[in-house]
């Protein structure tokens, strides 16, 4: 099966995703926006046949098999449920929803409707991630003892910007921190202990935070994210017999080096997605899951999606970030 995509939202991330899909030869048949002019402009830019001035019209489009939800976090659950009710598969931009309760509601609805719901945590689907999982699980670096990951960006400071607005799910965690948290979950699973410190903005969202995740195995993850500073965005997985150092910017298509305990290089992996950003891999995986008649991706299961949201719920609770309506 070749999935025909409908793009819900016409912002920057929707443009990046659509560009990668078309560059990889995948089918994008429609776009929807609350503004018909924006939908028309988006469709014209990418050569898309159908432009809809409402999300309802987009999900009702018979030429659409799957909907990519590319709007602010607080709308993800509502719009994913809209698409699911129309019988469409959904790929929901990270963070999947605002909290774990919303995530479970969406996933339960998808299961009941017999459609696939996946999170667009694109790093999970990159070739480098598959190789890294294999290295860790093979015991090449021994037992994992420590995972570190940093995600720093200097983003808009306008209090009206969605990143700074609690009503739109603003803050570092749902936009940036979700990458390190999901990375730790990918390699180590759900933590048993969570200890978070953070600094809140004047608007009441987290400008920066750090967290230590503890695991029954004795491993730990130390993660740091901020939306008001820049830095060297790298990640390292330390084991009893070696380590893996992932190049900057670690959550994008990059390479990594595997060292043994004597600092000798065991392996060098170099990522190559050509001229594309790499977002098409998640679309290819959804197509594979649907074609195989599966209900979820083993790369990020429904349980895994909810587990990540639970961890972030607890992190927000510990630093005092609460969104309207929670």
Q: Is 94 known to be catalytic?
A: yes
CA 235 remoteness from chain centre: 17
**Residue 189 class from Cβ within 10 Å (0-12 exposed, 13-18 middle, 19+ buried)?**
middle
The helix (H) or strand (E) run that includes residue 12 is: helix 12-23
Residue 20 dihedral angles phi and psi, to the nearest 5°: -70, -40
The CA–CA distances, whole Å, from 24 to 1, 4, 30, 147 equal: 15, 13, 17, 33
Strands (E), the chain: 4-8, 27-32, 50-52, 66-69, 89-93, 117-120, 144-152, 193-200, 206-214, 220-226, 235-239, 242-246, 256-260, 265-269
Which of the 8 DSSP states describes residue 224? E
Choosing from 38, 88, 94, 317, which is the catalytic residue? Answer: 94
Catalytic residues, by residue number, are 94
């Amino acid at each position: 099966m070749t999935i025909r995509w409908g793009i819900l939202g016409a912002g920057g991330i929707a443009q990046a995703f659509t560009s990668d899909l078309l560059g990889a030869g995948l089918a994008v048949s429609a776009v929807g926006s609350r503004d018909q002019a924006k939908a028309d402009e988006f469709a014209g830019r990418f050569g898309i046949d159908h432009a809809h001035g409402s999300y309802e019209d987009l999900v009702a489009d018979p030429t659409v098999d799957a909907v990519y939800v590319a709007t602010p976090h607080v709308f993800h659950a509502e719009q994913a449920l809209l698409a699911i009710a129309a019988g469409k598969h959904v790929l929901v931009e990270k963070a999947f929803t605002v909290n774990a309760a919303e995530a479970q509601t969406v996933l339960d609805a998808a299961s009941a409707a017999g459609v696939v719901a996946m999170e667009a945590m694109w790093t999970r689907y990159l070739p480098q991630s598959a190789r890294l999982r294999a290295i860790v699980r093979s015991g090449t670096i021994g037992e994992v003892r420590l995972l570190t990951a940093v995600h720093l960006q200097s983003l808009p400071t306008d209090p009206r910007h969605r990143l700074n607005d609690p009503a739109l799910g603003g803050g570092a965690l749902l936009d940036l921190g979700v990458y390190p948290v999901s990375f730790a979950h990918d390699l180590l699973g759900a933590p048993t202990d969570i200890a978070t410190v953070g600094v809140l903005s004047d608007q009441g969202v987290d400008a920066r935070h750090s967290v230590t995740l503890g695991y029954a195995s004795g491993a730990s993850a130390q993660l740091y994210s901020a939306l008001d500073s820049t830095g060297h965005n790298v990640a390292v997985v330390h084991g009893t017999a070696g380590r893996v150092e992932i190049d900057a910017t670690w959550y994008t298509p990059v390479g990594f080096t595997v060292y043994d305990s004597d600092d000798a290089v065991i392996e060098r992996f170099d990522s190559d997605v050509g001229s594309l950003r790499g977002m098409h891999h998640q679309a290819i995986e959804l197509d594979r899951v649907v074609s195989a008649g599966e209900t979820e991706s083993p790369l990020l299961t429904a349980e895994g999606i909810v587990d990540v949201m639970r961890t972030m719920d607890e992190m927000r609770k510990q630093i005092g970030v609460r969104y309207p309506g929670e």
